[in-house]
Amino acid sequence: MSEAVFKRRLRKLSRLLEEKGYDAYVVNTPSSLYYFTGFRGLGSLLICPGESPLLIVPVLDSNKALDEAKGVEVATVPVGEKTIKRVVELLKERKCRRIGFERLSLSQSIFLRRRLRKRFIKEFDDIVWKLRKKKDEGEISLMKEAARLAIIGLQAAVGEARPGMTELELAAEIEYAMRSAGSERHAFDIIVVSGKRTSYPHACPSDKQLSVGEPVTVDLGAYYGGYCSDFTRTFWLEECPEEQEKAYRAVLSAYDSAFKKAREGVPANEIDRAAREKLGKLSRYFVHSLGHGVGIDVHEPPRISPTSKEVLDEGNIITIEPGIYVRGKYGIRVEDTVLILKDKAERLAEFTRELLVI
């Protein structure tokens, strides 16, 4: 991304701050620091409308910040000193009265209230997400590459899986394929589970061996240019029991139903409901939300859940991932990362959703 992109983002954030009547805001999650400056590391970005933004980093990350951050000045904090102490000094120097923080822990909040008496302090991140939720062309193209790398992982999964191989060995092959192709890190800890372990939506791969007739679920994500992707497939080795084949088709039609409904202007809870309804009786095994936003973070707004109040917007990138998990028996999930457009949703990359028995 060019410096102009970051400056534009910072200008928009400043405008939103002024509208809310704040004279200072502190961005302090690594993913938002990356969004606004291009720097990947720890620190706090102090924004006061009308003044130049200042990135304050622990000296640990100063070489990196000086090389990577664009459109901002960089100040460093020595070993053993806390960034928040420096932020407080600056807020006092600049005589800020109404101050927003992107994220505060309870102890940070107590510290601030003691050090910044008589100022109004609030934690909020809606203005950050207002910007981050709507991906621009540059972001979409990075995420398409992250999606392409994830598909390389899925191809390795179905290409390498053999009876007798352990879940860990399969995970090794998949990660190797994604890394060698250019994935800068794993978007999250890969899930490779088989047999009854597929009834865990989240789990580490284990030394359990893959067996004929058992399902294998692989949930993975690549990372490119600072952006994540997130895809899942369940497939079977050599044969698929009839009950599980039926269940797979149900999950797939839940996916299709949600995917067809997804577009700008649709409430997020409606596409969750579309999937849930399609599952009929099986919906009691659908124990998580339909999806979540993806971007610099692998889980970010908008939430796509039964209780979500969000409405889909052009430029949102979300997962659609219905799944069912039958205790002690099996689990199935199908997940793609998709881009929301004016009149439809578009998958960031394609990998077959047909029943795979390999």
Whole-number minimum distance, CB 26 to a copy of itself, in Å?
Answer: 14
Toward a copy of itself, which CB reaches closer, 260 or 309? 309
Nearest Cα to Cα of residue 216 among 248, 175, 177, 186 = 248
Nearest Cα to Cα of residue 229 among 297, 324, 131 = 297
Which residues would be at the binding site for a copy of itself (CB under 8 A)? 40-41, 58-64, 66, 79-80, 104-107, 109, 123, 168-169, 171-173, 175-176, 179-180, 182-186, 189-190, 199-207, 223, 286-289, 305-307, 325, 327-328
Toward a copy of itself, which CB reaches closer, 71 or 201? 201
The span from the CA of 60 to the CA of 341, in Å, is 41
Residues 6+ apart with CB under 8 A from 349: 144, 147, 148, 150, 151, 229, 231, 337
Whole-number minimum distance, CB 85 to a copy of itself, in Å?
Answer: 12
Whole-number minimum distance, CB 8 to a copy of itself, in Å?
Answer: 25
Toward a copy of itself, which CB reaches closer, 14 or 183? 183
Nearest Cα to Cα of residue 285 among 162, 166, 163, 200 = 200
The span from the CA of 97 to the CA of 107, in Å, is 21
Toward a copy of itself, which CB reaches closer, 143 or 339? 143
Whole-number minimum distance, CB 329 to a copy of itself, in Å?
Answer: 10
Toward a copy of itself, which CB reaches closer, 200 or 213? 200
Residues 6+ apart with CB under 8 A from 55: 33, 37, 39, 43, 44, 45, 46, 65, 69, 72, 73, 74, 75
* Beta strands, E only, 126-169: none
Whole-number minimum distance, CB 343 to a copy of itself, in Å?
Answer: 29
